[in-house]
Amino acid sequence: MNHIRQEQILGFIEQNNVVTIKQLQQLFPDVSLMTIHRDLQTLENRGMVVKVRGGAKSVRHTGDPGFDERARENNSAKTAIAQKALKLIQPNTSIFLDASTTNLILSRSLPDISLNIFTTGPSIALELCRLHNPVVTVCCGAINRKNLALSGQNTLEMLEKINIDLAFIGVSGCSVEAGFTCGTESDMLVKHKVIQKARTSVIMCDRGKLSRLMPYTFARPEDVDCLISDGPLPDPFVQALTDAGVTLL
């Protein structure tokens, strides 16, 4: 019976790439949480899955989709988020835009005002070249050809030296159990450092991300100040954010 259940768990994980413990509990309501954890450990020992915080991922999972694929995904939601984000930006402040495609859309809408803009997205920096008043600084680092984001030790050292009033940070997935997640360790380290440095950190999360869990948690609700979404969020998620003092927009 254990073998049959573990094969079912494996099939579910391979179908969905990354799953949460809560999803597995719903799939097997008569099985204890401890048993599910044991099954995942057995599958990991066999090299079939990789356990991550709050769930597990398939060994076939390759992390975030490519930049071009993400740029075509759910653009109406990203536009709605970007319009809300614009209202937070004041002249003569320092803002940070990570390499997310939501921030790419935000950069296309930014007014030509006096700002210091830091970014780890070369595509975002090129987009901002249309403006005359902002000072645009690209944070140095190694470029990930898949997601077009800069990261690495040089990036972290540069971030340590700058001051950020307002940081806009995209996510690849989020849940109550795992918090805000992304696909690579290098992106996780950059996003985590930015949240530490920023006076106000803003998570940009469309509702489609609530069904995803990525391997690396870079923050939890209590670590951030604001979350912008494209519409109403599930009650358990809203409650977790409210309890952590996060402003919802």
Q: Cα 172–176–182 angle (5° rounding)? A: 20
8 Å CB contact between 173 and 213: yes
Q: Is 63 exposed, middle or buried (0-12, 13-18, 19+ CB in 10 A)?
A: buried
pLDDT digits (tens, 9 = 90+) for 176-221: 888 999 988 999 999 999 999 999 999 999 988 886 778 889 999 9
The answer on 90 and 193 residing in a single domain is: yes
Among the candidates 58, 76, 101, a domain finishes at 58
Residue 29, domain CATH: 1.10.10.10
Distances (CA, A) of 4 to 10, 11, 33, 111: 10, 11, 17, 58
Angle at which helices 101-109 and 75-86 pack, to 10 degrees?
50
- State residue 64 phi and psi, 5-degree precision: -65, 150
Q: What is the pLDDT of residue 58?
A: 77
Q: What is the pLDDT of residue 72?
A: 55
Task: Give the residue numbers spanning the domain of 217.
Answer: 67-248
Q: What is the pLDDT of residue 104?
A: 94
Domain tally, the chain: 2
Q: Is the pLDDT of residue 143 over 50?
A: yes
Residue 162, domain CATH: 3.40.50.1360
The answer on 232 and 141 residing in a single domain is: yes
d(CA 78, CA 187): 20
- Tell me the mean pLDDT in the region 36-61: 78
The answer on 126 and 7 residing in a single domain is: no
The answer on 164 and 105 residing in a single domain is: yes
Q: Is the pLDDT of residue 71 over 60?
A: no
What is the value of pTM for the model shown?
Answer: 0.75
DSSP, collapsed to helix, strand or coil, labels residue 2 as: helix
The answer on 116 and 6 residing in a single domain is: no
The answer on 176 and 82 residing in a single domain is: yes
Which structure tokens are listed for 29? 């309501």
Q: What is the pLDDT of residue 145?
A: 84
pLDDT digits (tens, 9 = 90+) for 78-128: 999 999 999 999 999 999 999 999 999 999 999 999 999 999 999 999 999
- Tell me the mean pLDDT in the region 49-58: 80
The answer on 177 and 124 residing in a single domain is: yes
pLDDT band at 70 (very low <50, low <70, confident <90, very high): low
pLDDT digits (tens, 9 = 90+) for 217-235: 999 999 999 999 999 998 9
Q: What is the pLDDT of residue 1?
A: 62
The answer on 52 and 132 residing in a single domain is: no
The answer on 225 and 179 residing in a single domain is: yes
Q: Is the pLDDT of residue 166 over 90?
A: yes
The answer on 9 and 27 residing in a single domain is: yes
For the chain, what is the mean pLDDT?
88
pLDDT digits (tens, 9 = 90+) for 123-133: 999 999 999 99
The answer on 123 and 239 residing in a single domain is: yes
The answer on 49 and 26 residing in a single domain is: yes
